[in-house]
Amino acid sequence: MSRIIHTILCMVLLAYVKADSDFPFWEHDQIPVRALSTRNEESIYRLPGDVVPLEYDVYLDLFFAERTDRPFSYDGRVNITIQAVQENVTQIVLHANVDRVRGASLYKNEIPVQLNHTNALIIERQYHFLKVNSLNALVVGENYTLVIEYSSVMNDGPMKRGIWRGWYIDENNIERIYATTHFQPYNARQAFPCWDEPLYKAVFTLHISRPTNYSATFTNTGLDTYDHLDMNFQDRVVEHFLPTPKMSTYLVTFLVSETFKVIANDTSFNPPIRIIGRSNTQGYGDHALNLTVGMTKFFGDYFDMPYESLHKNLYNDHISSPDWASAGTENWGMVSYRELNLIIYPRETIMSVEHYATTLVSHELAHKWFGNLVTCYWWSNTWINEGFASYFGYIASHEVFPQYELHEHFNSRYLQTSLAFDSGSTVPMNNDVNTPSQVTGHFGTISYSKGAAFLRMTVNIISPETFQKACKIFLEDNRLEPVDQYDLYDAFAAAIAEDGSLREYNDFNFTEYYRVWVNEPGYPLLNVDINHSNGEITLTQERFFLNGNTPPTGQIYPIPITYSTKSNTRFRDLKPVSMMSSEIAVIQKSEEEEWVIFNNLQHAHYRVNYDDKTWDLIAEALLNEPETIDHLNRAQIADDVFALMRSERLTYHKGFQILKFLRYESNYHVWTVAISGYTWLRNRLRHLPSQQATFDSFILSYLEHVIETVGYETISNETPTISLTRQEVLQFACNLGHEKCVEESLQWFRRLKNQQWVNPKIRRHVYITGVREGTSEDYTFLLNRFRTSNFANDKLEMLRGLGATKDSELLTEYLDLTLQKEVRSHDKATSFNYALLGNKENANVALEYIKNNIDAIREAYVEDSPANPVQTVLSNLATYLDEPELVDYENWLRTTQRDSLQFNNTINAINNARANIEWGTANADIILSAARDSASIVVTSAIMLLVTTLFTFVL
C-alpha cells in the first residue's frame, strides 16, 4: 500500500488520458444525477488519485441475438473494494463509458454508507468520469465496497475496442458470432466502471454468464465454479473464474464464442500452453505453439522467473481472433492476436508474415514480465512496456529461432524506422500525454522503435550480462507494481555498479546518458573529418534534421563510438571504444590512408557523415571490394546517404556515386533500404511521367544483379532472408515494369488459374501483376479465390492484388468491396490504400469514389475509432494526386466537408502533396543527372574490373 500511495502522490507531476469518445446517452433509474462537461484542460483527463481500488468482482451477463429487445448487449454489476488515501474525500471519481448506469451504492463492512441524496452521481461525459458523492468523508485506509449496476451494447467489430462482437465462418460454412474484449489503453471502462489507468493495479474476479449453446469462456485465469441459470428467454450458464494477480484494468480479457476450441497445446507446462482459434483452423496451430513454447521457456530462464511463478491462477492461452484492431495484445493469461499473425501454415503463408509472427509472439510473451508483472504507471512511459517487448521480440527470438536471423532484421524493423521518424519535430521517449489522441499517438515509433533501439544501444555499452542482471533487479524490485523511468534507472545503476561495467569509460556519466536519451527528442549526426596523413580523426556532433534549414539546437547526445577501418575490420565488435559526451572529440588511428566506417553494424542510434576524401574511399571499397565491409554497415551507409541527400548535406551526385555499388549488391538488408530510398525519390517525380520513366530505367538497371541472384522461383531449403529478398525485390521490379518480372509473374498466375499450387513466398507480386496486367476474368478469379480461402494472411495478399486492377469499373467494384462485411474492419483502410499503390491512374478513380461515397466510408471504416481509418484514407489519397486533382479535391473539401473531423488534416495533406510536387519539379534534373553520371561511372568501373581480371588471368 505504501508504494501505491507514494506513486499517487507523484502523479501531480504527470499527465493522463481518457477514453476515445464522449459518453452515449445515459439513463439513471435510482440515484439523482447531474451531468457536467465544462472542463477543457488536458490534465483534467487524469483521475485525482485520492481513492484507489484493491479488488473487483465483475459480473457480466452477455446476450447475443437471442435477446430481441436488446441484441448483442450486456448487463453488469461491479463490486469494487476501495480505500481513500487522502483525508476529507467525499467524492469517489472513477471511469465509466457504458450506455446506462442503473444505480450505485457504497458499503463499509456490509453496512450502507449514505450518499448525497441531491447529488449522488455526476457524469462528466467528455472525460468518461463517474463521480459518486458520499454524504460523509471516507476514513483513510479503511476498506469500502462500491457497487455499480449498469448495462451497455457490444461494439460491432474491433475498431472501437471495449467489449465487441466479431464473426467467422465455421467448417460447415455457417456464420458464427463471438464476443471478446480489447481494453488497451483506455477501454476497460466500456466493460465496467473502473479506475482505468495503468497505475491502479488491483485483483479482478470475473463472473460471466452466457447462453448454454455458446462454448466455454476463455479468460485470464482458470475456472473456479459454474452454475446453470434458467432465465425467461433462454437457458444460461454462469462461470466464476479464479482471481487474477494484481494488475491494470487494460489486461482484463475474455472471449465467448460458439465454436472456438483449443487447436494446439503443450500439456508438459503448468499451466498448459494453448493455441485457441475458430474450429476450422484445427491443425494450423502447431507453428504458433512451437513459437510460444520456445519463448515461454526462454523468458523464464532469462529472467530467472518462470511463467508459472508469476501467479498460480494465470493461464498461458494464445487466441487467434478473426478480427483484431492491432497485431496482438498482451492480456495477462490470454494473449489475443489478429488471426493472420498466428495461423501460420507454410503452404499458404507468405514469408514476411511468418517472419513477423515470430517476433510478435516473442513481443507479447515478453510483456508478461515487462508490462504485466511490472507496468508503466502512466502512458507517458509507454516505452518501458513497449520498448522492452520490442527489443526482446527480435533479440530474444533470435536465440530460440536463429533460422530467421532476426537480430539482423532489427535494424530495418526498428533502428532505421526510428531514425527516419525521429528526424523532425518529434517527442522524447518519456513524453507527457493527456488526451486520448495523445495517448494513442504515443503507441508508435518512438515508444516501440526508438525504445527498442535505445535498449540495444545500452546493452552494447554495459554488456549483455549486466543488462540481463538489470532486468532481473527491475522485475524483482517492482513486482506487481507500477513504475516510472526512475525505477528503471535504479535497476540499471545497481547492475552497473555491481558489475563495474563502465569502468573503462573515463568521465562517462551514465545518469546523463539515460536522461538525455529518455527525455530529449531526436538523435545526433556524427560528422567525421579524417586527416589521412597523420590518422587524426575529428568528431563533431549536431542534432540531425531531415530539413536542412532547421536551426541547430545545441543538444549534446552521449554517443557510443565504434568504428572499423580497412586495416582493422572489427565490425562485429560492438563494445564502444569510447563514449563521446561533448560536441567535439578527437581520436587517433594509424597513419594509413584507408576507409573508416563508424557505428559498427549500425547498432547505435545516430547517423554518420564523412569528409569528401573518406566518402571517396568508402565508395571505392563498396564498389571494388564490398565483401570487406559488413552487409549491415553497407545497409547503414545506404540508409545514411539517402537521408543526407534529402537533408542537403550530400549532393545527389555525391550520394549516387557512393550508392553505385548497388548495381552489384544482392543483400536483403541493403536492398530494403535502397528500395525505400528510391521509392521516396520516384514518388516526387510521379507528376512528371517522362522523368519518372527515365529514373525507373536507372533503378531497373541496378536491380538486374539482385534479381539474377535470387531468381524468380523459390529454392529448396533457402533461408527466410533470401525469401524476403526475392519478395521485396520482385514486387518492386514488377511495379516498375521489369519485363522479365512481369512475364514470370503472369506465367505463375496462369498456373494458379489452372489449379496449380504456387508457393506463397512469391504470391504477392504474382497476385498484383496477374490482376494489374490481366482481364476482368483474372480479377474475378482472384476475387472468388479470396472468398473461399480459409487463410487470413493469404486473403489479405489477394486484396492487395485485387486493388491493382487498371480497370476503373473493377476498381470501383473493389472499393465497394471494402465497404462490405467480408473485408474485415481492421483491413478496410489498408485495402483502400492498396488501390492507390496498385497504379498511378487509380488515384483519380479513388478520388471520385470518396466524393460519391464518403458517408458510407465513414460508417463502414468506423470513423471514430482510435486508429482514425477515414483520416488515413483521405490523407493518403492526397499524396497520389497531381495538381488538377488536388484542386478538385480541395474544392470538394471546402464546399462539403469543412465541418468534418478530417478537414484540417486532409487540407494539410494536400499542402504537403503540393510541396512534394514543387520539390520534384525543382530537383528532377539534378536527380536524373546524378543518376546518369553514376550509371556511366559504374559501367566504366565494371569494364575496368573485367579488364583487370582478364589481365590477371593471362599472367
Domain 370-519 has CATH 1.10.390.10: yes
Q: Which residues contact 273 (CB under 8 A, 6 or more apart)?
A: 265, 266, 289, 292, 293, 296, 316, 318
| Cβ atoms 850, 811 nearer than 8 A | no
Return the pLDDT at 98: 96
Q: What is the mean pLDDT of residues 704-724?
A: 96
Condensed to tens digits (0 to 9), the pLDDT of residues 385-403 reads: 999 999 999 999 999 999 9
Return the pLDDT at 41: 63
| Cβ atoms 888, 856 nearer than 8 A | no
Amino acid letter at 739?
E
552-562 burial: b if 16+ Cβ within 10 Å, else e: eeeebbbbbbb
Kindly report the backbone phi and psi dihedral angles of residue 641, in degrees, each rounded to the nearest multiple of 5, phi listed first.
-65, -45
Return the pLDDT at 22: 27
Question: What is the spatial distance between Cα 157 and Cα 141, in angstroms, rounded to a whole number?
Answer: 42
Condensed to tens digits (0 to 9), the pLDDT of residues 575-611 reads: 999 999 999 999 999 999 999 999 999 999 999 999 9
DSSP class of residue 602 equals G
Query: Which range (521-530, 654-663, 830-839) has the least confidence?
Result: 830-839
Q: Is the pLDDT of residue 113 over 90?
A: yes
* Enclosing H/E stretch for 565: strand 563-565
Contacts by residues 776-781 (CB-CB < 8 Å, ≥ 24 positions apart): 776/807, 776/810, 778/749, 778/753, 779/805, 779/807, 779/810, 781/753
The CATH T-level fold of domain 524-631 is Immunoglobulin-like (2.60.40)
Return the pLDDT at 943: 37
Question: What is the spatial distance between Cα 289 and Cα 343, in angstroms, rounded to a whole number?
Answer: 10
Q: Is the pLDDT of residue 950 over 60?
A: no
Q: Is the pLDDT of residue 242 over 70?
A: yes
Query: Average pLDDT, whole number, for the chain?
Result: 92
Percent of the chain with pLDDT over 90: 89
Condensed to tens digits (0 to 9), the pLDDT of residues 339-373 reads: 999 999 999 999 999 999 999 999 999 999 999 99
Query: Which range (270-279, 435-444, 708-717) has the least confidence?
Result: 435-444
Return the pLDDT at 231: 64
Determine the distance from the C-alpha atom of residue 266 to the mean position of all C-alpha atoms in its chain, rounded to a whole number.
29
| Cβ atoms 280, 790 nearer than 8 A | yes
At 279 the three-state DSSP class reads: helix
Total residues found in the chain within this entry: 955
Domain boundaries, the chain: 2-257, 370-519, 524-631, 715-727+736-803
Return the pLDDT at 35: 40
Q: Is the pLDDT of residue 944 over 60?
A: no
| Cβ atoms 1, 84 nearer than 8 A | no
Amino acid letter at 134?
S
Return the pLDDT at 291: 98
Condensed to tens digits (0 to 9), the pLDDT of residues 71-107 reads: 999 999 999 999 999 999 999 999 999 999 999 999 9
Question: What is the spatial distance between Cα 433 and Cα 135, in angstroms, rounded to a whole number?
Answer: 34
Condensed to tens digits (0 to 9), the pLDDT of residues 189-207 reads: 999 999 999 999 999 999 9
Q: Which residues contact 571 (CB under 8 A, 6 or more apart)?
A: 564, 597, 600, 601, 629, 630, 632, 633
At 794 the three-state DSSP class reads: helix
Q: Is 297 exposed, middle or buried (0-12, 13-18, 19+ CB in 10 A)?
A: middle
Query: Which range (229-238, 255-264, 609-618) has the least confidence?
Result: 229-238
* Confidence category of residue 230, pLDDT binned at 50, 70, 90: confident
Which three cell numbers mark 418?
A: 526510428
Question: What is the spatial distance between Cα 801 and Cα 834, in angstroms, rounded to a whole number?
Answer: 8
Query: Which range (268-272, 292-296, 436-440, 923-927) has the least confidence?
Result: 436-440
| Cβ atoms 726, 760 nearer than 8 A | no
**Confidence (pTM):** 0.93
* Confidence category of residue 774, pLDDT binned at 50, 70, 90: very high
Q: Is the pLDDT of residue 48 over 80?
A: yes
Condensed to tens digits (0 to 9), the pLDDT of residues 431-475 reads: 999 888 889 989 999 999 999 999 999 999 999 999 999 999 999
Which three cell numbers mark 527?
A: 560528422
Which three cell numbers mark 183?
A: 481494453
Determine the distance from the C-alpha atom of residue 808 to the mean position of all C-alpha atoms in its chain, rounded to a whole number.
33
The CATH number of the structural domain formed by 2-257 is 2.60.40.1730
845-866 burial: b if 16+ Cβ within 10 Å, else e: bbbebbeebbeebbebbbbebb
Fold agreement (2-257, 370-519): no
Q: Is the pLDDT of residue 642 over 80?
A: yes
